[in-house]
Amino acid sequence: MDIKQQLIAAVGQAAAKATADGIFDAGQLPEIALEVPPQKEFGDYATNFAMQSAKAAKTNPRIIAQAIVERLDAPWLDKAVIAGPGFINFYLKSDWLYRELAQILAAGDTFGQSNSGQGERVQVEFVSANPTGPLHVGHGRGAAVGSALVNLLKAAGYNVEAEFYINDAGNQIDNLAASVNARYLELLGQPTRFPEDGYHGQDIIDTAKRIIQHHGEKYLNMPEAERLAEFKELALAEKLAALKDDLEQFGVTFDVWFSERTLHSSGAVAETCKLLKSNGSIYEKDGALWLKSTTYGDDKDRVVIRDNGVPTYLAADIAYHRDKFSRGFNRVINIWGADHHGYISRVKAAIAAMGYNPDNLEVLILQMVSLYQNGELVKMSKRTGQGVTLSELIEEVGRDAARFFFIMRSTDSQLDFDLDLAKSSSNDNPVYYIQYAHARISSIFRQALEAGIMIPSVWDEVNLAVLAEQAEVDLIKKMAEFPDEVASAARERAPHRIARYAHELAGMFHTFYNQCRIIGVDAGLQSARLALVTAVRSTIRQALNILGVAAPEKM
């Protein structure tokens, strides 16, 4: 348990003692929250718990605060001071810093990991793009955020699976086949009419060219229905392979690739509709089957089977979510684009209609991404004249910068992606700034070895108490926050918090580096500072690992 959690526990125990002593009524007391005061003179941590408790406890907040302070049992606490209307400021004894640093060093590459998730089974479904063309930058944001969230949840002790839902059924796949068919005929000089809802990208032309390269005119005299069926399979396999390759290049992998087709071929869609009909959640109207979604909070009922007997996209989605919960996941997290916001209520309604708790489905909505270069909005790729693809973006700015920039803002914030900044080797570029801190520390150790300084494999014999400079103290305190930051970010499904934390820690390191010499000072201080930067390098590396960003040894 880190020092912050120890302090929260101590405050909780003191509050329990105060209620037992009859100082105030326990009531429904709020959760204890600590924050780091903006000014150092107000202590290491502070809480407004007494003020938050006043209404439920029916007691003046300063009386609550006084009762808590008098009953605190925390030998590592120097003092607790009541301020203003009932804040409690906590001042820790200096030796806790060095115990904390020793624990960070001992933990090594496991530092920051916890069991706060208690092994809860969670599925995260993200990207799930139609396999009809290359991934665009919006998909890139979903891929970066989704994979970082999976890493974050794993670090916090959740049992996580990453899943991609392949939309390989329905009109979009039929349109893909029709588009390839039209280009195939066109390239072979045959009269054709391009489908109204067809896909116009260069990739479709390239697919048709490859079919001709490998098969020539084999399909030319085939009945069109058969040719379309063949092209559907060929194009789908090619697009899916390209999609997987793009994601792997971006450092994104999935535990499960789930095919929408299997829901239809296995009878899962029909079976799910039968279940909903049997429990009274589906009714017939105008020849179609409707889900009573208004019963479960939706703004109107939804068609699941059209009057021609064809299932809607929602019908497959209901069956898919039934399958998810039947696999034993306690919680299902979907990451969707902003255009899917209105879809949440109908899916949650369907989950409730099937007898599951709709609150066990969480949907993170990703806002739009806008690319800027030279201060101007970039709408089209210079190469293709169409939307910028993820692979083009990676080629332009690199994988690490692309991932970090996608993750560094909250999912509910629109992202303005500055291409010039992402490519720059300057302190203004946040990912460069963080990676440079890691590389700079690695350089320190290379210098130490060149100077003949022995680097210990363990730091037990080093006197860490000589680290008394403010920049050193700030670094230790910041690192001590990392496990709680990981646990909190996981609970909030907020990987951007780890990006922000890494940037702040890197900034503190650069300040320390500019103020405190490491090599060539007193031997005891030199060893302690090498121990300190060892911990900083490890913490930065763990944060970057969560984000899926490299931690380079040299830059």
What are the pLDDT digits (tens) for 504-542?
A: 999 999 999 999 999 999 999 999 999 999 999 999 999
The CATH fold of domain 427-547: Isoleucyl-tRNA Synthetase; Domain 1 (1.10.730)
Region 217-237: mean pLDDT is: 95
By three-state DSSP, how is residue 333 classified?
Answer: strand
Return the domain boundaries, the chain.
3-93, 171-237, 427-547
Q: What is the largest CA-CA distance in the chain?
A: 92
Task: Look up the CATH number of domain 3-93.
Answer: 3.30.1360.70
Q: What is the gyration radius of the CA atoms in the chain, in angstroms?
A: 29
Give the tens place of pLDDT for each residue, 118-172: 999 999 999 999 999 999 999 999 999 999 999 999 999 999 999 999 999 989 9
Closest CA to 205 of 215, 194, 219: 194
378 bridge partner residues? 371
CB 27 within 8 A of CB 15: no
Separation between Cα atoms, residue 502 and residue 487, nearest integer Å? 15
3-state SS of 143-179 is HHHHHHHHHHHHHCCCEEEEEEEECCCCHHHHHHHHH
Residues 6+ apart with CB under 8 A from 62: 50, 82, 85, 86
Phi-psi region of 335 (alpha: psi -120 to 50; beta: other; left: phi over 0): beta
* Topology alike, domains 3-93 and 427-547: no
Residue 361's contacts (CB-CB under 8 Å, 6 or more residues apart) are 321, 331, 332, 333, 334, 347, 348, 351
- H or E segment to which residue 45 belongs: strand 45-47
pLDDT tens digits, residue range 88-102? Answer: 999 998 888 999 999
pLDDT digits (tens, 9 = 90+) for 401-440: 999 999 999 999 999 999 999 999 999 999 999 999 999 9
Question: Alpha-carbon dihedral of residues 483, 486, 492, 493, nearest 10 degrees?
Answer: -160
Contacts of 98 (CB under 8 A, 6+ apart): 464, 465, 467, 476
Return the pLDDT at 41: 86
Kindly report the three-state secondary structure assignment for every residue of 64-115.
HHHHHHHCCCCCCEEEEEEECCCEEEEEECCHHHHHHHHHHHHHHHHCCCCC
pLDDT tens-digit readout, 252-285: 999 999 999 999 999 999 999 999 999 999 999 9
The two tokens of residue 351 are 């989950």
Separation in Å, CA 48 to CA 216, 252, 477, 487, 542: 75, 41, 21, 21, 32
Residue with tokens 């037992």: 20
Q: Is the dihedral angle over the CA atoms 382, 386, 388, 392 positive or is it negative?
A: negative
Task: Determine the Cα angle at 367 with ends 366 and 372, to 5°.
Answer: 125
- The region of weakest confidence among 164-178, 354-368, 370-384, 459-473 is 370-384
Burial letters 440-464, b for 16+ CB under 10 A, else e: bbbebbeebeeeeeeeeeebeebeb
Q: How far apart are CA 517 and CA 179, in angstroms?
A: 65
383, with CB counted inside 10 A (0-12, 13-18, 19+), is: exposed
